[in-house]
A and B are shown apart, each in its own frame.
Chain A
């Protein structure tokens, strides 16, 4: 409210007040949406400019820290190579992630449905997570060679744990009243699961899938580090060996973009399956529950 506003002779009608409140709300919403895009873009551009200017001003050697322009140059120069490597790694990630879902969700179901199984298997699962996957990678190479399989398996080994835990916890975390209600309505066991328990657990399951997809990226790269002959991880090793720091950065950029893209795909699936307002951990949604 500005201080110079004159005192109205007659108080305004509620309709006019409503219209002005609505106008202000719309303007505020537009500003918020705009700043959600402009603010991060601005920060990134500022950092890139600083980076470019800094490396030039201080004469930093290219093999230590190439300026962004040199990285872009390397990316265009090696575009076919990077595209192929990205394709290989994407395939490994997606297969590892798919395997995580295919194994993780049934495993979580069994853990939820059958407590003795949970007691028997959970300690094993947890120790399997405590074990560093990099340490197992050479073993997988011995067993499965240098091809696609060991990378997929390592991605799976790293990525399946959050799927299992989040699904099992999500299924168990339902309010008891919902189950009482289902029983008193005479809803069958399968219907109770499909209509109530599973949708109730979906936000938790997707929280697990979002962690899982980012871990699958790590797993695939670790696999390629240890024994790859293709893919972005392998490319990073080669670039490192030949001190081609520009290419190293180009590979890191590809991996980052790939990771973010895959995460967004999972998030899109979440938005399609679950109405926006009940998605867990939505930091911008505000608390309605």
Chain B
């Protein structure tokens, strides 16, 4: 496996004082309020929070697809004002082109980047095989299961060797077993490629399992409530989810949600 070269390892992503207010007919909607965070581009950073806390807005801004109402996003001090085309992006739905095969969908990224077609296709086939889709290269999206489609969309995000993946609740629509498998696959991929992820989720155990750092957000308007560094050894195993240390992290986040009224025990 090749390893990402640009930007240099140790690059860091800075979000500084991000505020986003949407104009709407029923008055302005405050999505984000003064969100600041810094992290190594190669780290696995999860953002957890209740629905409507501005997680997706934060990801859109981090991808350079949306500009904040105020605040700055920068990498190594260089301000980002345009879409970051070096990253890989994965949405909650697979967002595949229905008229392209699995391979064709992965190759879309290569076409956009004007990569050499022959070697890109070889890599696309390798990637699909690595996530268990060997033999499905020529299938159309409607012939694949939900989990398979999301795997294709992950391959599409990986083919150009991005230094960082941005994932917006990528496993939210999948069944629990498929979800576990994809979480394990994602951990392996990140390790092999030394690739960082900005991972948006509302699943506390998923965030703890995958992350170096978990950022907990408050309900709308989204602010950073707490930052937790997860110090579990890697690679993480499913059995680790039953350890007291893992439970401790989960409880800490859950207690925050209880304290903020995101969760209520009757």
A interface vs B, CB < 8 Å?
A: 175, 177-178, 180-187, 191, 195-196, 199-200, 274-275, 277-278, 288-289
Contacts and interface: CB of A to CB of B under 8 A. Distances in A.
Contacts of A289: 98, 142
23 contacts: A175-B93, A177-B95, A180-B63, A180-B65, A180-B91, A183-B83, A184-B83, A184-B87, A185-B109, A185-B112, A186-B85, A186-B112, A187-B111, A195-B108, A196-B97, A199-B97, A200-B97, A274-B99, A277-B98, A277-B142, A278-B98, A278-B99, A289-B98
A184 B87 CA distance: 8
Which secondary structure dominates where chain A touches chain B? helix
Given A185-B109, A274-B99, A288 B142 contact: yes
B246 interface: no
Contact of B84 (A184, A187, A195, A275): A184
Contacts of B64: 184
Query: Top 8 closest A-B pairs, CB basis?
Result: A186-B85, A185-B112, A187-B112, A288-B142, A177-B95, A183-B83, A184-B89, A278-B98
A180 B60 CA distance: 9
Contacts of A191: 111-112
Interface in B78-122: 83-85, 87, 89, 91, 93, 95, 97-99, 108-109, 111-113
A178 B95 contact: yes
Contact of A185 (B60, B85, B99, B142): B85
A288 to B, nearest CB: 4
B106 to A, nearest CB: 12
Given A180-B91, A184-B84, A185-B108, 6 more contacts: A181-B91, A182-B112, A186-B112, A186-B113, A187-B112, A275-B99
Nearest to A175: B95
Chain B: number of interface residues, binned into ranges: 20 to 34
A199 B99 contact: yes
B136 interface: no
Contacts of A195: 97, 108, 111
Nearest to A202: B99
Given A195-B108, A289-B142, A181 B99 contact: no
Nearest to A186: B85
Interface centre among B60, B91, B113 (most CB of A within 10 A): B91
A178 B112 CA distance: 13
Interface string B43-86: 00000000000000000100111000000000000000001110
A96 to B, nearest CB: 30
Interface centre among A186, A196, A199 (most CB of B within 10 A): A186
Interface of B: 60, 63-65, 83-85, 87, 89, 91, 93, 95, 97-99, 108-109, 111-113, 140, 142
Contacts of A288: 142
Contacts of A275: 98-99, 140
Nearest to A181: B95
A180 B142 contact: no
Contact of B65 (A175, A184, A200, A277): A184
Nearest to A274: B99
A274 B98 CA distance: 10
Contact of A184 (B63, B98, B140): B63
B181 to A, nearest CB: 24
A177 B59 CA distance: 13
B86 to A, nearest CB: 9
A107 B122 CA distance: 42
Contacts of B109: 185
A288 B96 CA distance: 14
A199 B83 CA distance: 24
Contacts of A181: 89, 91, 95
A289 B153 CA distance: 17
A107 B195 CA distance: 46
Nearest to A199: B99
Nearest to B86: A186
B110 to A, nearest CB: 10
Contacts of A177: 91, 93, 95
Contacts of A183: 65, 83
A158 to B, nearest CB: 31
Given A199-B97, A274-B99, A275-B140, A180 B108 contact: no
Contacts of A278: 98-99, 142
Contacts of B113: 185-186
A175 B33 CA distance: 28
Contacts of B140: 275, 277
Nearest to B66: A180
Contacts of B87: 184
A122 to B, nearest CB: 22
Nearest to B98: A278
A231 B12 CA distance: 75
A161 B229 CA distance: 60
Nearest to A183: B83
